[in-house]
Amino acid sequence: MDALIREWLNVGLRWVHVIAGIGWIGTSLYFMWLDASLTKPNPPRARVEGETWLLHSGGFYLVERRQLPPGQLPSPIHWFKWEAAMTWLTGFPLLVLVYYTTRGVYLVDPAVSSITPGAAVLVGIGLLVVSWAGYDLLWTSPLAREGRRAAAVLSWAVLFAVVYALTHVLSGRAAYIHVGAMLGTIMVANVWMRIVPAQREIIAAAEAGRTPDRTLSMRAKQRSTHNSYVTFPVIFMMLSNHYPGTYGHPLNWLILALLIVVGAGVRHVMIAREKGRPADWWLLPVTAALAAVVYLTSPAWLGGTTRGGEPVAFASVKDVIDRRCVSCHSRTPTDDIFRIAPNGVTFDTPESIRARAETIRARTVVLRNMPLGNKTGMTDAERGLLARWLDQEAR
Q: Which residues bind ligand HEC (CB under 6 A)?
A: 244, 324-325, 327-329, 335, 338, 342-343, 345, 356, 359-360, 363-364, 370-372, 375-376, 378
**Residue type (1 letter), 181:** A
Least separation, in Å, of the C-beta of 338 and ligand HEC?
Answer: 5
Q: Which is nearer to ligand HEC, 83 or 335 (CB)?
A: 335
**Residue type (1 letter), 161:** A
Q: Which is nearer to ligand HEC, 17 or 361 (CB)?
A: 361
Q: Which is nearer to ligand HEC, 173 or 194 (CB)?
A: 173
Q: Which is nearer to ligand HEC, 264 or 320 (CB)?
A: 320
Q: Which is nearer to ligand HEC, 160 or 243 (CB)?
A: 243
Least separation, in Å, of the C-beta of 271 and ligand HEC?
Answer: 34
- Rounded distance, CA 367 to CA 15, Å? 29
Distances in Å between the Cα of 92 and the Cα atoms of 17, 86, 260 are: 10, 10, 22
- Count CB-CB contacts under 10 A for residue 149: 7
- Rounded distance, CA 121 to CA 124, Å? 5
- Rounded distance, CA 34 to CA 153, Å? 28
- Rounded distance, CA 58 to CA 88, Å? 33
Question: Are the C-beta atoms of residues 24 and 84 closer than 8 Å to each other?
Answer: yes
Least separation, in Å, of the C-beta of 244 and ligand HEC?
Answer: 5
- Rounded distance, CA 88 to CA 226, Å? 17
214-240 CB burial, b ≥16 within 10 A, e <16: eebbebbebbbebbbbbbbbbbbbbeb
- Rounded distance, CA 240 to CA 163, Å? 14
Q: Which is nearer to ligand HEC, 81 or 339 (CB)?
A: 339
Least separation, in Å, of the C-beta of 324 and ligand HEC?
Answer: 4
Least separation, in Å, of the C-beta of 286 and ligand HEC?
Answer: 28
Q: Which is nearer to ligand HEC, 81 or 323 (CB)?
A: 323
- Rounded distance, CA 286 to CA 263, Å? 8
**CA 189 from centroid of its chain's CA atoms:** 16
Least separation, in Å, of the C-beta of 268 and ligand HEC?
Answer: 32
Q: Which is nearer to ligand HEC, 170 or 370 (CB)?
A: 370
Least separation, in Å, of the C-beta of 166 and ligand HEC?
Answer: 18
Least separation, in Å, of the C-beta of 109 and ligand HEC?
Answer: 11
- Count CB-CB contacts under 10 A for residue 321: 20
CA torsion through residues 312, 313, 319, 325, sign: positive
